[in-house]
Amino acid sequence: MYPPTQISEKLAKIFEIGKAYFYDDYYDFLNKNYCEILKGWRKTNSFTQDEAAKTFTFSTATYNRWENGKKIVRNNYEKLKVTINGL
């Protein structure tokens, strides 16, 4: 079980360690520049946002929001990581 980011930050301060100690791959992903990761994957595969969205069965609007910085929820992250290497 991994605590939410806010709790991780508080625990890290209490124990004087880096907050990433408490991260799983999902929180680690959110801490990266995932917008650029998604754009890079899409461009490498010569996909439009519509084609990329269809690959994962997400709406184009949802995929667009992610490329523009909207937080990706865990269950959608799980769908993405199966296909996109480097998440």
pLDDT 10s digits, 1-45: 677 778 888 988 999 998 778 778 888 888 889 999 999 999 999
Q: What is the pLDDT of residues 63-76, one digit of tens each?
A: 999 999 999 999 99
pLDDT bin (cut points 50, 70, 90) of residue 60 is: very high
Q: What pTM was estimated for this model as a whole? A: 0.76
CATH of 32-87, one of 3.40.50, 1.25.40, 3.40.1000, 1.10.260: 1.10.260
Looking at residue 86, its pLDDT comes to: 59
pLDDT classification of 87: cutoffs 50, 70, 90 = low
Render 21-73 in DSSP notation, one character per residue: GG--HHHHHHHS-HHHHHHHHHHHTT--HHHHHHHHT--HHHHHHHHTTPPPP
Domain range summary for the chain, segments of one domain joined by + = 1-31, 32-87
Which pLDDT value is given to residue 74? 92
